[in-house]
Structure 1
Amino acid sequence: MKLYVILFTLILLIGFCTSTNQLHARRSLQDYVDSFVNTGKIQLRGGVLKLNDTVIRQIWSFFKAKYRRIYSSNRQEGERLRIFVRHLKYVLKSNFKKTRTYQLGLNQFSDWTLAEFDALKKGLKVSRSLARFYQRHYHARRLKRNLQKHRYNDRRFSDNWFDKVLNQDQHNNDTSSLPKTFDWRTKTVVSPIKSQGGCGSCYAFASVAVLESVYAIKTNSKNVTEFSPQQIVDCSNNGNSGCYGGLFQPTIEYFKEKGGKIATDASYPYVGRTDESCRKDGINEIDLGQIEYIDIPVGDEKQMAEVLINNGPIFIGLDADSELFMFYKSGVLKIDNCPNDREDMDHAMVIVGYGYDEKLKLPYWILKNSWGVKWGESGYLRLIKDADNMCGIATMASYAKLT
């Protein structure tokens, strides 16, 4: 009889744990937090957040169970709990603002410091030499306009010299004929959202995403061939640094040196480490053809829209050094005083479309990220468009052309 009682108790416990785990899997952390807001257990009164320890412990327990956090000691858990509570209060205070255009949400990064997040989830590396190049690029455009305006002739500033420095196509900035909204995702040329894991390889994922799309457009394919970011991490080391950051331009130069050949993701899968040697054998490579990269003039969001429609998705850099990026959940992100200098760019994403939010009365860019489908709007971000180069979205914009 005792044996039956013990077995019955074990079955109940297993069933309870299973149902609890399933509940955690289905319900987002922020939804759980919002349940306390909706029942009045979390309030904001006079700018002061009312949040008791019991509620914090419940939310913390939910977070640990959902993301399977196990800490090595009570001291370590205490440190992570303090980080978590700071983020919890930040997200709550932001979401209580009635004028906000976006929603934040606690997620799998909620017990990370911002410095840890920067190191592990970004990876756009802007060296001083590249920053100087972009500065020269900008001044070269201004100088050419001034010389043409004043009809000044100097062999040092020939058209060939300017064309070499600018390295870009000329576009008509009249965007009156462009559609109000556009989204490459509806054309079946955008691959699924992926996660870079704990590797600073955003540049590799963004580069691959651009090449996947322009190749699908070029070949008029109904299915996207997914390319390998790991090949870039392992092999494109002339200007890139594996999991420690890189850029679009040296990545494209690497594939140009390879004759336009790029490995498929299936044959060269992502492992998110830099200790892998560059694989040569046993991989399936696609011939992209002739490949070039072209930089869009700094700050020119109108030309970005034109290039997006006429050529395909665009590689961009952002200053994502904010908890607003870390905990973005939905809506149109709009950040006061967000830097847009080249030296501040620290994360790469891909523009796949743009639109207009009728409720908020705001235009926005649609950005594909590499932080997994549980971040943002199923892995995507909407960032305000035509707002003085918000967070540098038009500071390092580049695209690829395949012929």
Structure 2
Amino acid sequence: MRSYGIFFIGIFSIGLYTPCEGIFGSSSLQDYIDSLVDAARFKFDGVLSLNDSAIHQIWSFFKNKYGRVYSSIDEEKQRLRVFRDHLQYVLESNLQNLLTFELELNEFADWTSDEFNSLKKGLIVSTSFRRDMIIYNQDLLQPGLRKLHRRPYHSRRLKRRLHHERFFRDWFSNMFHSGKDKDNAIHQSNVFDWRTKSVVSSVKDQRKCGCCYAFATATIMETLYAIKTNSSTTVDFSPQQIADCSSNGNTGCSGGNFGPSVRYLLDNGGKIATESSYPYAGTRKSCRTSGLNEIQLGNIEYGMIPEGDEKKLADALTNYGPIFIGIDTDSKRFMFYKRGVLKIDNCPTRRQDMDHAMAIVGYGYDDTLQMSYWIIKNSWGKKWGEQGYLRLAKDAGNMCGVASMAYYGKLT
């Protein structure tokens, strides 16, 4: 289907995506679908088991819940066709065996993939930018990680000696401790979450502007500033300022990345505006330079995690703070993710395939699924995923490129 033009016109001309939940707010779209669809029958008959009456009931519920009004009968027919395809996809996915996650039809159910990619993502990974970051990586990150992982010779000797002592101590201790104690120790070593330290701000919604990079950058700076000032609360910083004012790789609502965003902040004297003084507009505006309440961050240093190295990614997360990451979110499983640990077979991991920026704020272990996961803050609103967060499989072959384009920052 190549009639995307009419879809984009509809979006911007009639404000298609303003929710109007009213009496429908207490019930999710997916809950309503599940109340109408016989899962057992659908498993065998597929979409054929959904008669026109059921589909139109679901369609009417969706339109009322999210306040959809279309410009013409023809456009509504096309939107319904897209909606029906997404409905089938979600139902079929949730019936698959051994899934570690669940999908749901949501407010994006009548969006085409092109619309979703244009309006809800916005990560730019240019060749020249990657080359600049690799040079910067050699100057900053590698010495930093050497400090964490490569001790001087006498320290390595001490580490080997302590390792041998720890081996015999642990062996002796294990003779007298239960498996439950060992499980608890393993569990604790697999859990870290900056949110528990009250230094991660609330989830935001980038709306229909491809400036995910600005939200992810603001998240990083908010936590780094809270850590630097030993604060138990965060100050919301302005992604709008980054989208409006940064350049040299950033293009407002048409995408950007971490490096150009940080370079703008450095050029701005290491200062960033508060969200309250430079509020988010959902579209690019002229850069404001007066009447702002700007926070002095100090000198900002940043570097790249070695590509694909989840171990160093975890080390940087715990030692520095939340990590700016690129993810390949081309799968519709991201679009309709509801809960659980997302794991996608054969998900691309090449850096050039990354298309959406988010921020890792921690990692954990799901005892039921027996899986490690990354805790990732998104910018698609609190109603998406797990209150706006994604759990993505950790140590699973660099799932969807989680460590392919990851940057950490420091305030000095």
TM-score relative to the length of structure 2: 0.82
**1:303 equivalent in structure 2:** 312
Residues 371 and 46 of structure 1, relative CA distance in 2, 3 Å threshold: same
Question: Match for residue 328 of structure 2?
Answer: 319
Decide which of 119, 122, 144 is 1:169's aligned counterpart.
Answer: 144
The answer as to 2:373 corresponding to 1:373 is: no
What displacement does 1:113 show? 0.5
Query: Given residue 292 of structure 1, which amino acid in structure 2 is its aligned partner?
Result: E
Query: How many percent of aligned residue pairs carry the same amino acid?
Result: 58
Q: 1:264-295 CA distances to partner (integer Å, 9 max, x unpaired)?
A: 00000000212x11101110000001111111
Match of 1:388 among 356, 378, 397: 397
**Structure 2 counterpart of 1:234:** 244
The equivalent of 1:100 in structure 2 is: 99
Alpha-carbon distance in 2 for matches of 1:278, 1:21: 34
CA distance in 2, matches of 1:279, 1:167: 37
2:194 equivalent to 1:184? yes
Q: Which among 215, 220, 223 is matched to residue 230 of structure 2?
A: 220
1:82-119 CA distances to partner (integer Å, 9 max, x unpaired)?
00000000000000112111000011100000111000
Q: 1:130, CA displacement in angstroms? A: 2.7
SS, match of residue 119 in structure 1: helix
CA distance in 2: counterparts of 1:215 and 1:109, whole angstroms: 34
**1:3-402 pair list within 5 angstroms:** 22-37=22-37, 43-45=42-44, 50-132=49-131, 137=134, 163-164=138-139, 169-171=144-146, 172=148, 179-274=189-284, 276-402=285-411
Whether the 8 Å CA contact 2:103–2:338 is kept in 1: the answer is: yes
What is the CA-CA distance between 1:182 and the residue it aligns to? 0.9
Alpha-carbon distance in 2 for matches of 1:397, 1:282? 34
Aligned-residue offset at 1:71: 0.4
1:170 is displaced (CA, Å) by 1.7
CA distance in 1, matches of 2:36, 2:80: 19
Counterpart contact for 1:41–1:55, Cα < 8 Å: no
Contact kept, 8 Å, 1:42 with 1:49, in 2: the verdict is no
Q: Provide the rounded CA distance (Å) in 2 between the counterparts of 1:356 and 1:36.
A: 34
Q: Which moved more, 1:230-239 or 1:76-85?
A: 230-239
C-alpha spacing 1:42/1:326, structure 2 compared with 1 (3 Å): farther
Q: Secondary structure at the match of 1:277?
A: coil
Do the aligned partners of residues 123 and 27 (structure 1) sit closer, same or farther apart at CA in structure 2, a change above 3 Å counting? same
Q: 1:46 to 1:108 in 2, by over 3 A?
A: closer
1:124–1:347 contact (8 Å) kept in structure 2 = yes
Q: Could you tell me which amino acid in structure 1 is paired with residue 387 of structure 2? A: S
Change (3 A) 1:21 1:284: closer
Aligned Cα RMSD in Å? 2.2
Q: Give the residue type in structure 1 aligned to 2:145.
A: Q
2:329 is aligned with what amino acid?
A: A
**Cα distance between partner residues in 1 of 2:289 and 2:337:** 39
Determine the C-alpha separation between the residues in 2 that align with 1:163 and 1:95: 44
Seen in structure 2, the aligned counterparts of structure 1 residues 353 and 40 have a Cα distance that, compared at 3 Å, is closer
Structure 2: runs of 5 or more not aligned:
1-19, 151-184
Partner Cα separation in structure 2 for residue 48 and residue 71 of structure 1: 25
Runs (5+) with no aligned partner, structure 1:
1-19, 141-160
> Normalising by the residue count of structure 1, what TM-score does the alignment of the two structures yield?
0.84
Structure 1 runs (4+) greater than 6 angstroms displaced: none
Q: C-alpha offsets along residues 212-247 of structure 1, whole Å, 9 cap, x if unaligned? A: 011111111121001000000110012211100000
Structure 2 CA distance for partners of 1:173 and 1:393, relative to 1, 3 Å: farther
Q: 1 CA distance for matches of 2:339 and 2:400?
A: 17
How many Å apart are 1:323 and its aligned residue? Answer: 0.4
Q: Which amino acid aligns with 1:32?
A: Y
Cα 1:269/1:222, change in 2 over 3 Å:
same
Could you list the per-position Cα deviations for residues 155-188 of structure 1 after superposition, in whole angstroms to 9, with x for gaps in the alignment? Answer: xxxxxx99438666224459x9982201111111
In structure 1, distance between residues paired with 2:394 and 2:39: 36
8 A Cα contact 2:21 2:66, kept in partner: no
Q: Secondary structure at the match of 2:31?
A: helix
Distance in 1 between residues matched to 2:68 and 2:296, nearest whole Å: 43
Secondary structure, aligned partner of 2:25: helix
